[in-house]
Chains A and B, each alone.
Chain A
Amino acid sequence: MIDIEPLRFAWTRGGPDTLLLGRLQVDRGQTVFLHGPSGCGKSTLLGLLAGVLSPRQGRVSLLGQDWAALKAGQRDAFRADHVGVMFQQFNLLPYLSVLDNVTLPCRFSKLRRERCQAAGGPEAAAQSWLQRMGLPEALWSRRADTLSVGQQQRVAAARALMGQPELILADEPTSALDAALRQGFMDLLLQAARDAGSTLVCVSHDEQQAVRFDVQWSLPALQQAGVSA
């Protein structure tokens, strides 16, 4: 599913390596907990997985497809089809309704639109995911920016799940939430990702959550392995 061959990544040409990784593999449907101190390159790794960044050396493949083998336009299309993304904040277009925000991926990916047909179309699929993320129905037609941060994160999660992409990348999805809400949100996200059959890679500082994931990656440890490899 995810296949990383020993890679080096640097932000600037000729600059020091930010990331130095050995071989890493993730199977389909697995959940990965990625942790490490701030600035150690977690978001960079997510960028590599999403095909937004390219390694200087080595290879990152998704579903057997090497990102580097695709042209920019193809990468965009491949990502739209197979990767759902959420960030710690500001995931939504403020001027669209909650429901319209959730159906956004279907506007850009035919594949994900088609996969929603099983649920009765993008609209119905969006409603079903919103329900599963526990967002009250009364909020669905509201403008996205009228929701609380916690509610917005649920909407973002529902959107990432639309059309069951093979990979969901979540960059600190709970760090903007109150501690009390984190547990519940993570429960919902993990369950939903398993239901969708999606692989979830989740970056988090909250190491209490780590045990509930199939795989735990400590980035500093991975880097160490990369150096010694």
Chain B
Amino acid sequence: MNSLWSMARSSAWNRRSTLVWVVVSLALATALLWTLERLRHDIRHSFSQSVSGVDLIVGARSSPVQLMLFSVFHIGSVPQSMSMDSVHKLAQHRSVSWVVPLSLGDSHRGFPVLGTTPAYFQHFAYGDKQPLVVQQGAVFADTLDGLYEAVIGAEVARQMGYGLGQSITLGHGMQDHDHDHKGEQADEHADKPFKVVGILAPTGTPVDRTVHVSLQALEALHLGWVAGTPMPGGHIPADQARKFNLQPEEVTAALVGLKSRAAVFNVQRFVNFYEEEALMGVMPGVALGELWSVLGLGENALLAVSALVALVSVVSLVAVVLAGLNERRRELAVLRAVGAAPRHVLGLLTLEGVWVTCAGVVLGVLLAHAGMALATPWLQQSLGIRLQLAAPLPTQLALAGAVLLAGLLASLGPAWRAYRLSLADGLSPRV
């Protein structure tokens, strides 16, 4: 067996220029499957880690997934807002422990701006009920003095190089996550600059990419605005804004914490049948589940395409080995002439298949890891997804194993043909 192995190796080395492409195509297929599976897992993980300790998300009636995506992940938009009255009513419900209103719609250089109350930092949690931690400074005050104060997430601070005391201005609307155009932000709110008073510890969730300000601050920014545009001649300077009533009438959504989780259906029903406006209460877990079932389609399509790619590379392995077989007939006949039995020939070709497939799979995994290491900063920056270059997932191993198995099975075909050929050729190849 040992001598067969060394012979398979020298023979393969002799044909390396062909085999290397088979290895490469297997490697690419493996890398694709490997990366996709990791990505799929980490996206789910990072989504499911993003909100914790929130029992209900309440907003104007639309799609639950849409509401959750917008309020927690700041992705997309919701068609309508909910009134502050409803928020207050909700807070008075006997089962409700706390309510945190959220107001979204503005941005700072591509980072979403979240208007909320200081209670947000108390109640919002991520991962396994881990609270937000203010790493530097403090939370903005809920007073007029703290009107133009902002608390920024760790990524915002890191990427923009902001420290405490930094003055920032906000732009109207959600802008593209395009950091190449830092100078081109539409500074519609340049007249009312904010001061960074707090920086949050990294969480690996969308919080890292968010600029937090008070609800009143957002009101102040939009004084004199109607329907999303400044009214001509309606400009109100920053200091004077404090004289106006800055209590918002509407917010985007509200996060609700309950005294007891058991009451969740009760409160949800209260929200869904609320008479004064059309509201809906969404359980984050349920909405995530719905999201998965939608994403699942896309994921499965991707997985199917990757599986096809893997299949194509396996077929190319068969094609290359079969095509090379005629050239190798002479080689195989020589082996027969020096005493190799057809089963040795079978073993030789199978061994080569094993070797080539293993090399492809190992190379693919290395390739995938190199690719992910390179893509991690970009993913973190643009999507807030943190790829984990940790131990392989069982599903990743299963996929790599499937490629390996397919490669082995595929190499048996040509090996069997070689076996038949060497039986037919006898000692002298009829080439």
Contacts and interface: CB of A to CB of B under 8 A. Distances in A.
A94 B14 CA distance: 8
Interface of A: 43, 46-47, 50, 52-53, 72-73, 76-77, 79-81, 85-87, 90-96, 104-105, 107-109, 112, 159, 171
B334 A93 contact: yes
Given A43-B428, A53-B426, A93-B331, A87 B13 contact: no
Given A73-B343, A108-B338, 14 more contacts: A47-B426, A76-B342, A79-B339, A80-B340, A86-B337, A92-B334, A93-B11, A94-B14, A95-B14, A96-B7, A104-B338, A107-B3, A107-B4, A112-B339
Nearest to A73: B341
Contact of B10 (A50, A80, A96, A159): A96
Contacts of A95: 10-11, 13-14
Contacts of B330: 90
Contacts of A85: 337-338, 427
Contacts of A109: 339
Contacts of B427: 46-47, 50, 52, 85, 87
B18 to A, nearest CB: 14
Contacts of A171: 428
A52 B426 contact: yes
A90 B56 CA distance: 80
Contacts of A159: 338
A105 B336 CA distance: 10
B369 interface: no
A100 to B, nearest CB: 8
A90 B335 CA distance: 11
29 contacts: A43-B428, A46-B427, A47-B426, A47-B428, A53-B426, A73-B341, A76-B339, A76-B340, A76-B342, A77-B341, A80-B340, A85-B337, A86-B337, A90-B330, A90-B334, A90-B429, A91-B337, A93-B7, A93-B11, A94-B331, A95-B10, A104-B335, A104-B338, A105-B338, A105-B339, A107-B7, A107-B338, A108-B341, A108-B344
Contacts of A92: 334
Contacts of B341: 73, 76-77, 80, 108
A126 B342 CA distance: 25
A46 B337 CA distance: 12
Contact of A93 (B335, B339, B344): B335
Closest 5 CB pairs of A and B: A80-B339, A108-B339, A95-B14, A76-B341, A52-B426
Contacts of A105: 338-339
Say whether chain B's binding surface is mostly helix, strand, loop, or mixed. Answer: helix
A134 to B, nearest CB: 21
Contacts of B342: 72, 76
A87 B339 contact: no
A151 B304 CA distance: 56
Nearest to B423: A72
Contacts of A87: 337, 427-428
A3 B234 CA distance: 119
A108 B337 CA distance: 11
Most buried by A among B14, B334, B340, B341: B334
Interface string B411-431: 000000000000000111100
Contacts of B10: 93, 95-96
Contacts of A86: 337
B8 to A, nearest CB: 11
Contacts of B14: 94-95
A212 B350 CA distance: 46
Most buried by B among A86, A91, A109: A91
Nearest to A162: B338
Contacts of A94: 14, 331
A87 B341 CA distance: 18
A131 to B, nearest CB: 20
A50 to B, nearest CB: 6
A107 B10 CA distance: 15
A72 B343 CA distance: 11
Nearest to A102: B338
A87 B330 CA distance: 11
Contacts of B4: 107
A47 B14 CA distance: 30
A107 B340 CA distance: 9
B344 A91 contact: no
A43 B4 CA distance: 29
A76 B422 CA distance: 12
Contacts of A112: 339
A96 B9 CA distance: 11
Contacts of A53: 426
